[in-house]
Chains A and B, each alone.
Chain A
Amino acid sequence: MKKTETSHKTTKGKRLSFGEKKSSLKVIEPFRDESRNMNDILVLRDVSASYRKSNIIEKVNCNVKKGDFIAVTGKSGSGKSTLLYVLGGFLRPSTGLYLFENKRVYRGIAEIGLGTFRRKNIGYLFQDFRLLPFLTIEQNIQFPIYFSGEKLHKERVRFLLDLFGLEHRSKAYPGSISGGEAQRTALARALMLEPKLLLLDEPTGNLDLDTESEIIHELIKLKKRGFTLICVTHSPRIRECADIVWHLENGKMLISQNSGKKKKPV
């Protein structure tokens, strides 16, 4: 435990590194691509995917570096969520290639191996939080650890409660907390297993301005800690805080770099 606490101090301002590093997925064959950089955490090449025929992405190409904060924007039905599902290992693309840390994600059949991929690499924040109503805030946060096969570190839970200002609500149930608290709980849950990639589906979609500011503040803190964030949003304030903006229109992706200085969250 002492070692863990030291780890927090020394990694301040960098990627959150509580506990031991997760073992990486088994390498089957490195993908060779000239356009790929070694710092890329994920690469999409000509990825097309559809979900319920309405949300379609077509031949999407992109590289994401470790520590990037990406905002995904676009009209409703433009394929933002579909893209997030592909990245999160929930939806197999119909064509194209998805590499995560130089390894193919959708290499098996059906859902085989995707559970492990999600557990080891992905933190997912749902737009509607999706907290389990019969668990307390603390239990919701530690929920992913139940399936990870890892030992539960109470210190880690306390650290996340503290990080998101939820310690006073730890024994409350989701039904009795505010939208902002629920969103922060969901965010803490997504971070419980220290994912390499954090996927956020409209994290401020249903929130008022004050709560939205709180969440944006948390996202910037996470970015500073070295997390890679991909955030589907309609919020112009999140878009302004992001390093890169992916704009989806009719399933096509337009990438733009935020070259100016980041605006401080309100």
Chain B
Amino acid sequence: MIRVTRSTIIDTPVARVWEVLRDFNSHWAWHPAVGESNIENDEPADQVGCVRNFFLKDGNHIREQLLALSDRDYVSTYCILDATLPMRHYVATVQLKPVTDGERTFWHWQSTFDVPRGREKEFEELVGKGVYEGGFEGLRAFLRRGGIATAPSPATVSGAMPAQAVVATAFGGPEVLRYETVSAAAPLQGEVRIRQTAVGVNYIDVYVRKGLYRMIEPPAAIGMEAAGVVVDAGPGVAHLLPGDRVAYACPPPGAYATVRTLPADQVVVLPEDVSDEAAAAVMLKGMTAEYLLHRTFRVRPGHAVLVHAAAGGVGLLLCQWAKALGAKVIGTVSSDEKARLARDNGCEFPIVTRDYRFAQEVKSLTNGRGADVIYDGLGRDAANENLEALAMTGHWACYGQASGPFDKLPDLSAKSGTLSRPVLFHYTAERATLQEIAGNVFRALRERTIRVELRHRFPLSAAAEAHRELEARRTTGSIVLLP
């Protein structure tokens, strides 16, 4: 436990100093370290129990709660609820006393708190000098200016936070991606602002960057998936609180950023045993595997399942999970190395092919019957082989079209087959279903039904390099960017 005490004499009568300091939301006006401040839920600043949000000029964010306020003794006591700084159990008291011989004020500022071992000195300095002594000087200057602290805080008007983001400056190759300074707006009704700690890279990001999926108009940030910590939430957001560890996988693009504001209904709270990196690596691909195996088609023990790109991000998860469901897992891969990886992840029969020839192999592995379900991210160029490899009354789930969309609808009557063109974001559109799907993914991780194959980490600023690796098929498993 550290105790920090600072005190000073202000050459102003106590009533005037207290007029400023009793306002729990005044610091933006006089404290040099505080950029913006607002009180949550529009509560009055002298409401005991009210919570203020400080956005410090150094980028840190602190939520503090008013514990006690005494106009009789000129005392204000408050604690930190959440902070982007590693300070715990912080309780501080500001006390003023009149100096009766002369119109002056004694100001005593004291706190106790815990910090990680070895960082005591750093934080004693930060709090004592930066916050308290800095505050003494700031208030003196404010009083000299004749400042009034009761003007509305700018945070309630703007409140944008500086951020870095990877922006597609045009549609094109990885070279169109630029690491730029942007701002994350204060969350409006139904929105949440997240300080992101890990960002997932998915093939859809490449399509968005190229303009194949017209989900952005350049210049705009890309990215569908990330994990992080809630900075603040707008009105009407009931399921998230500042400080919550969260993740999401959803449009609109914009996840390649240090801080991001987005609709809160697609954001879920992370369980303690799922790390930020694992969440960023698995949310989109894991939820895709979940709905493909349980909702688009319900895989049962004994089903023959054909997984294309079985060593890819979604492919590995489909193999692991389908195997756990008791299926016979057949996969296609492009190299012997990827075949080994697929086999290690539950794909009992990996087929190495670089020209979409696999139907005969699938048939011979299934006594001529074909696959009960095909998980197809390939599209046009594999259409004929897929129809050939499909079992009678089988289901063909075309969840991606890496080689382009079908020229025409395949002749499903040849097999009484069914074809679907599922999209994750339709399955997760309802918040209750999203929670269910995400919950199943977290449980599968916990029970090791699926495993995160996180083999590639890049700094957020190196997103273009990550895209080059992904497009050159030099990666396996998941890629995350670290802000």
Do A and B make up one complex? no
Taking beta carbons and an 8 Å cutoff, which residues of A are in contact with B? none
B: residues with CB less than 8 A from A are: none
